[in-house]
Amino acid sequence: QGGRGQIKQKKKTVPQKVTIAKIPRAKKKYVTRVCGLATFEIDLKEAQRFFAQKFSCGASVTGEDEIIIQGDFTDDIIDVIQEKWPEVDDDSIEDLGEVKK
């Protein structure tokens, strides 16, 4: 009686990486997808508002850990993320380039 019961195991954390991808839309238009910010305990809603204001464009939180920004901001966004959230270091940001949806 009075056993220890089930010992809870900690969830294995996925290697923390922020991925940035450029997805083509109609003609010469693009959207930028940012994934992986939630693994750094960053509030996605707050990040989405920040990106929308910074780049003066539409941005939305889609899915579990994904922010879509209207426009091609792949170059600028790496600097902006490091400036706003210093806990995200350069090695953990990965630019996937252009990917299909």
Q: Output the domain CATH number for residue 66.
A: 3.30.780.10
- For the chain, how many structural domains are there in total? 1
Give the pLDDT of the chain (101 residues) as one tens digit per residue. Answer: 555 666 655 555 555 788 999 999 988 899 999 998 888 888 999 999 999 999 999 999 998 889 999 999 888 898 898 898 888 888 888 888 888 87
Domain containing 24: what range? 18-96
Q: Is residue 86 part of a domain?
A: yes
Q: Which helix (H) or strand (E) holds 75?
A: helix 74-84
3-state secondary structure of 58: coil
Q: Which DSSP string do the residues of 7-36 spell out, in sequence order?
A: PPPPPPPPP--EEEEEEE-STT-EEEEEE-
Q: Is residue 23 part of a domain?
A: yes
Q: Is residue 6 part of a domain?
A: no
